[in-house]
A and B are shown apart, each in its own frame.
Chain A
C-alpha cells in the first residue's frame, strides 16, 4: 500500500474516499454472496432441528412428526394427506423383474411413478429412466434416454427402464457419511429425508444413476398430490435432499403392486416376494434367463431383466 499522508493525525480526504470505496465494494460483494438468503423461507423450527434419526424415533415422536408433515402439506397445498410410518413385513424380500421383450418404451411407468410419489414437476424429477438400446447389444454406452420418436417401439431397438435396483450390496449406503440411507429388512433401500444433508456422495456411488437430487424446492401440482403417503416413501421432500425409487413402499408394504407395474400396458414388469417359493417372481428367477446390469460391479441388484421370446 502507498504511504498515505496524514495531517495532524487525521485522515486525508483521499485516503477517506479510498477506504470508503473499498468498504463499499466489500459490502456489495458480501451482499451478493448472501443474496440466496432472500429466497430462504424454510427456516427450521426447533423441533425440526432437534429431530432424531428415523431409527431412534419412538412411536410418539414419530406420530408428532407425521402430524407435523400433514399440517405442512395442508398449509402448502390445501389438501390434508394421510402420512403413515409403514414397517417392513416379516419374511419378505422384494425383487423386481422386467421382461425386455415386452417393454415398448412408452414411459407410462415413468409418469405413473411421478404421480404416485409426489415428485417435483419443476424441475422435473423422474425416478425411472428408460433407455433405448439398439438390438443386439447390452452395451449401455449405446443407450439413448432422450428418445422422442413419433411412435414406439422403434424398429431395431429395445427399451430398458432403469430405476433403483435396491441392491443387496448397496454402494450408496456405504457412501453416506451420515447414515441417512440404509437398507431395510425387506430389501428396500430407504432415505430419511429429514436426516439427509444433501452431500450427494450416494449419487456418485450409485452405478445405475438411480438417485435424484432436489436442487430447488420441489414444485408439485396441488390437484395431483397423492395423499396416501408414508414417512420414508412419497411424502413431499424438502429442498436439498436426495430421493429415489423405493418400490412404492407405501403400496408394497400393504401388499399392493408398485405404481409402475400397474401402469405398464404390456405387462413387462413383475414384482413379488422372493422368499415365497410360489410367487411369480420366484418362477421367473427359476425359469427365465435373467440377468442384471453391471454385474461386475458387485452390487448384486434385486432388479432382474430377461428376454422372453
Chain B
C-alpha cells in the first residue's frame, strides 16, 4: 500500500489536500450559521404583575377614580333604567358611560342587568337569593353561581397569586374576581404568544433575514 505513496505527485496531492483542510478549519469555512436572536431586553409585560383590571375594593383602597361606580352621579335616585328587549328577547342597551360588552355566559340567558345589579339601589349588587351586597363584596356574588370556583379561590388555588407562600414571612396575595375577569364579559380573550425556543438547527445563509446576527 505504501508503494503508491512513493511517487512525488501523490505526496504533493496529499500535502495540498491536508493544507487546505487545515486552512479551512482555521478560517471557519465549515461553520454553518443559525438564526440567532439579538440580545434584546425582555418586554416588561412578562415581568409585569399588575392585573388587567381593578376591583372596586382595590379602587377605593388605592384612591383611584371612582366616578365610574358612582351611579347616582348620572342616574336619578329612586329610578332605575328600564330594560328593553327586542323581538328575540335580546337586551337592547344604549351606550353607557362604561364602555362594555355584555357577554356573561355563552347562552345569552344572563343578559339581564338586574341578575347582578340591585334595581332599587344601583350602587349595590344583589344575588339570586335576594341578598343585597356592597359593590366591594362582588366575590360573594360571583360565588353564588360559580360555587366550585369560589371555593377554590377561598382556599387559594384559583386565580393569580403573588407574594409569599410562607405566610409567616410575608403576605400571600390573591386577587378579587373582577381584577382578572371583566364581570360583563368574563371570558379571557386569546393573546398572542411570546417567542418560543430558539432553534439551534443550522440554516442556509440565504434564509437569514437582515435582522438576525450572522457569525
Contact = CB atoms under 8 A, between A and B. Distances in A.
B37 A121 contact: yes
A192 B14 CA distance: 48
Contact of B47 (A112, A148, A256): A112
Given A29-B21, A104-B188, A108-B194, A262 B39 contact: no
Nearest to B153: A267
Contacts of B42: 111, 114-115, 221, 224
Given A31-B26, A283-B157, A152 B199 contact: no
Contacts of B11: 18
Nearest to A94: B165
Interface string B36-65: 111111110111010010000000000000
Nearest to B165: A272
Given A32-B22, A224-B42, A262 B193 contact: no
Interface string A156-192: 0000000000000000000000000000000000000
A107 B195 contact: yes
Nearest to A112: B46
Contacts of A124: 37, 197-198
A50 interface: no
Contacts of A31: 22, 26
B46 A25 contact: no
Interface residues of B, number: 57
Contacts of A267: 158-161, 180
A257 B163 contact: yes
B196 A107 contact: yes
B15 A108 contact: no
B40 A121 contact: yes
Contact of A145 (B36, B164, B196): B196
Interface residues of A, number: 69
Most buried by B among A254, A257, A259, A279: A257
A255 B157 contact: no
B161 A25 contact: no
A280 B37 contact: no
B23 interface: yes
A43 to B, nearest CB: 22
B15 A257 contact: no
Contacts of A271: 165
B37 A122 contact: yes
A123 interface: yes
A1 B14 CA distance: 14
B163 A111 contact: no
Contacts of B96: none
Given A262-B162, A283-B155, A147 B193 contact: yes
Contacts of B196: 107, 110, 126, 130, 145-148
A252 to B, nearest CB: 7
B199 to A, nearest CB: 7
A28 interface: yes
Contact of B19 (A28, A112, A252): A28
Contacts of A223: 41
Interface stretch (B78-86, B118-126, B166-174): B166-174
Contact of A32 (B25, B38, B41, B194): B25
Contact of B39 (A35, A221, A256, A284): A221
19 contacts: A29-B18, A29-B22, A32-B23, A107-B196, A112-B47, A122-B37, A124-B197, A130-B196, A148-B195, A152-B193, A219-B39, A220-B39, A221-B39, A254-B169, A257-B163, A262-B162, A263-B46, A263-B47, A270-B161
Interface of B: 2, 5-6, 8, 11, 15, 18-19, 21-26, 36-43, 45-47, 49, 52, 152, 155-166, 168-170, 180, 188, 190-200, 213
Interface of A: 1-2, 18, 21-22, 24-25, 28-29, 31-33, 35, 89, 99, 104-108, 110-112, 114-116, 121-124, 126, 129-130, 145-153, 219-221, 223-224, 252, 254-257, 259, 261-267, 270-273, 279-280, 283-284, 308
